[in-house]
Structure 1
Amino acid sequence: MNQPLSDLRVLDLSQVMAGPFACMLLGDMGADVVKVEPPGVGDQTRSAMEYRYKGTDSPGFLALNRNKRSIEIDLKNEAGLETFYALVKTADVIIENSRPGVMKRLKADYETLSAINPRLIYASISGFGQTGPWAQRPGFDLIAQAMSGIMSATGTEDGEPVKATTPIADLGSGLFVVYGILSALHGRERSGKGQYVDTSLFEAALGLSIWETTELWASGEAPRPIGTANRMSAPYQAVRSSDGHFVFGAANARLWARLCDMLGRDDLRNDPRFADNTGRMKNREALIEALEAVFATNTTAHWVEALLAAGIPAGPINGFDAATQSDHALARNMVMDVPHKVEGTYKSLGFAVKLSGTPQQVRYGAPLLGEHTREVVDSLDLPQSYDSLKEAGAFGR
């Protein structure tokens, strides 16, 4: 089936998470993603993590690099750079996530490559962006979560600093750069010209902090950690049952009334402290204490079933094992087996967006290092043969 991005070639010059994630999403939509890797070592995530399946590449690398072809090119070698420039002429998009200035030193920056291919969309993901006083700082998800404000409002009020376990700055910047690239590609249809796309882990983390910054500007006070509670409404959080915890949300007047009816607690409904959302937020601790006294009388399974039957959103707190093995995740194809030359198959998360007419496809699993070097190079318009370029050190020695 003709996929929506099947007419595009993307060069993946990125490593680890943010850039590879973005390139994988484009590959899932049909783009021809060519992963350009340093000879001999490749993407550093190939050797990350302590776990392995059968082969030498880490499960983390496999998870972020399906639907790509891998070539080894030494960008510090003259023949390698010549090969790379020929590849750039065939490309629509380049994604890189080096520290600002690195690509310029390699003669692979936007100014250099856009002169070779004016239609090129060149996207950079860095820790803090290409400009500003923090631009040269190293970029990691942990640092971005801390410096964007996210960690200051995560966890419990009297606890130690806590980051979101899911690397939202890394993955968020990957999503934002895809948004920027697709917008730039649409603009290119009218202008005929490419452009530079610049985003960062810091901006992704800050850009996702909608409720927290709203609270700051509306109240004049920096948001504090509130555990699982919500900054805009209550009750909406995790609560204790007789055998653990569960989550539920009675976050508007209609759901609050249903909750009081279900629990048979007209006293809560009539309590002036809880008369409206403003009161329930102001007196949230007292409200949750009163509700937990009821919830502690039965199990999580009982309350989740009862709340859902009353039309009140609720759910258990699943581990990733339960979440990925759930009937719903399987029905939504959120776990799939991906073919691989060495692994046979490996498990991967499925496609989080479903397209009815041109659905995503797994055309191939994560590539071996340099697996497609000859295949890609032979397709380029180069004065030298693959063997000559190899002899000259274009693909490492």
Structure 2
Amino acid sequence: MMNRAIEVEAISKKYELGRQKSGSLGETLRHTFKRDKIKDDTEFWALKDISFQVNEGEAVGIIGRNGAGKSTLLKILSRITYPTSGNIKLFGRVSSLLEVGTGFHPELSGRENIYLNGTILGMRRSEVKAKFEEIVEFSGVSKFIDTPIKHYSSGMKVRLAFAVAAHLEPEILIIDEVLAVGDFDFQKKCLGKMQQVAGEGRTVLFVSHNMEAVQKLTSSCVYLVEGRLNCMSDTKSVIGRYLQRSESGLNSTYYNRVGSSDIYMKEIKVARGFAGVEHSWGNELTVEFDIVINRETKGACLSFQIVNAENVNVGYYWLYASDYDFGAREGEIKIKCVIPEAKLFEGKYWITTWLSDRSGLRLIENLDRICSFDFHINNIVHDEYPWAPSDATYLDKANWVFEGSSPITIKMPRLRQ
């Protein structure tokens, strides 16, 4: 039988909106005697009757849209705030990283804050000292370890805070979306460390909007909707349920109800990207077309371009009549274009579509810069190089060959998945 690490029993958290408290005894008494007169619309339930259990050694994701109550739940589990009702039981020492700089004193150096955090977690100075070098090496801030934290960038604070939280050997590690502040190399490093922590029999709770990261790290998921528990099950099925519920917000769609041409686009959709959420380098990109044919038009041609923020066409795809004469019969037809490995650079893109005859001399319909979508490259690593959206429009792997009478040794940037 598995030992419990966390038990959450009917947790609810209520906030009262629009009220300010002075903290004085008189103000407290006035609020106490007026409590029955408070209107319902001043009450906001961030969480309502949440119950679930987590076993030792489990890595559990907590997902949901913004405002679903994820961060409130983590703050209650971290004992930063208390529930309005319900109970929690935590079996073991808890270490959490919820916000940049949480638990750090700005006037103290990085070194002093490491020891301070260890003390807060209940560790002896000798235990912290034994882990100190490992923490500093992982964080990558050794050069600034004796500099006051107030002079650190947000990224440096995150690196040190995560290193402290993960290396001081808590039985329960709680991580919020704060890791998004770090660069991709460090995020990848953090995910590897959390997998190691879980593999050592400790428990991890992980909140993120990055479904790829959630899928890689966790075996089960808690799905919150408007402060209530929608479901808790294996990660794959919970993410599928989350994406199905959020589908309208994840697809980029153009819709036209009143097209009057011989042929016109009724709907165009840039379908959900990798892991159902984001479009990223090297993964499949799908564009779907719903076309209405009001009058038989033989030899029709469909093409579309992918256009970047500078209005440069960076991709061109077409379907000629010789391939498939889709306009030869009246009615409605759905066509899908699947790009197996889209290699666009980081940035925002649009779709421009063309319906014409095969010669291109007769234009039937042109839709310019519709279905905007964002493209990311955070599933690959480029050594020692920070990604910048303005650097390029297309990115691909390449082999470099040098010829000459004498050998050439050179370190070239490389891409790896």
TMscore range, shorter length? under 0.3
For normalisation by structure 1, the TM-score amounts to 0.27
In terms of fraction of residues, the more helix-rich structure is: 1
In terms of fraction of residues, the more strand-rich structure is: 2
- Highest CA radius of gyration, 1 or 2? 2
For normalisation by structure 2, the TM-score amounts to 0.26
